[in-house]
Amino acid sequence: MGEFVRLEVADGVGTIRLDRPKMNAISIQVQDELREAAAEAAERDDVKAVVLYGGERVFAAGNDVKEMATMSHIDMVKRSGPLQAAVTAVARIPKPVVAAVTGYALGGGCELALAADVRFVADNAVLGQPEVLLGIIPGAGGTQRLGRLVGPSRAKDIIFTGRFVKAEEALAIGMVDRVLPADRVYDEAVAWATQFSGAASYAIRAAKECVDRGLETDLETGLEIERQQFAALFATEDRATGMRSFVEDGPGKAVFRGR
């Protein structure tokens, strides 16, 4: 467990909790602890799905600008890889990941939310990539993941202007998936994640890999990725269990063991 990032596990759901008062600024230490928490969540068999959460007040208001302001070009050449790796580690958790966003998710905080599979946000949430206002660009995936999510022209508008995107607009353009009262965001995210506690874990993992890797390539290659993953699942115990249960008892009644 890190000083500012911890993984809390209950009923098959792992919550990666950012807790660096007062705005959850993402420092070098937070980046390193995020990467470690993501790796632990990926490895633990008792974690079936993950919630990213910054607390009731704020998700994460961005990277630590005071820390970055002291860094030279050489410093950032060395640090830009680990910076991206922290967010990429979250994106590559081979399980369903939901970001529960309250308050601000800006800059690096927005990039962290974009790394989740789905985003549940409070009706008072504010998202954005305001890095251009600092004379830089998003450096932890924002220029890549935002465009894939909302399309290139909308992503360029948000990134070029550095403007803030409020919850309702974010929902309308597909940047987030659900808008809720602030006091319900975390509970709804946990409820979404909990549905996977008894799921066929390797099937979920394969589906996530097919979608994510398929977006990075052409259709023919994507179909080949899908074909290989589809065939591979016939080696799992859950596939045999699921099909036997369907034949004998009807759909939706299988009890999976994640094997």
CB 15 within 8 A of CB 53: yes
CA 192 distance to own-chain centroid: 14
Mean pLDDT score across all residues of the chain: 95
Token duo for residue 115: 């790394």
Closest CA to 122 of 188, 179, 170: 179
Nearest-angstrom CA–CA distance, 253 and 246: 7
Residues 6+ apart with CB under 8 A from 217: 225
* Residue-level pLDDT at 96: 98
Note the pLDDT of residue 258. 86
Q: What is the pLDDT of residues 209-255, one digit of tens each?
A: 999 999 999 999 999 999 999 999 999 999 999 999 999 988 888 89
Locus of tokens 């939901």: 98
Give the model's pLDDT for residue 252.
85
Q: What are the residue boundaries of the structural domains of the chain, listed by start?
A: 5-194, 201-249
Q: How deeply is 74 buried, as exposed, middle or buried, from its count of CB atoms within 10 A (0-12, 13-18, 19+)? A: exposed
Using pLDDT thresholds of 50, 70 and 90, give the confidence band for residue 27: very high
What's the pLDDT band for 142 if we cut at 50, 70, 90?
very high
> What CATH number should be reported for the domain whose range is 201-249?
1.10.12.10
pLDDT at residue 17, as a whole number: 98
Return the CA Rg of the chain. Answer: 19
Q: Indicate the pTM of the whole model.
A: 0.93
The structure tokens listed for 39 are 């790796």
Fold match flag (5-194 vs 201-249): no
CA 87 to chain centre: 8
Check whether 194 has a pLDDT greater than 90. yes
In the predicted model, what is the mean pLDDT of residues 83-94? 95
Q: Given this structure, which CATH class describes domain 5-194?
A: alpha beta
DSSP 24: T
Q: Helix, strand, coil proportions of the chain in percent (round to 5)?
A: 50, 15, 30
At residue 123, what is the residue type? Answer: D
- Per-residue model confidence (pLDDT) at position 1: 78
The per-residue pLDDT for 231 is 97
For the residues of 163-176, what is the DSSP string, one character each?
-EEEHHHHHHTTS-
pLDDT digits (tens, 9 = 90+) for 144-180: 999 999 999 999 999 999 999 999 999 999 999 999 9
Mean pLDDT, range 98-111, rounded to an integer: 97
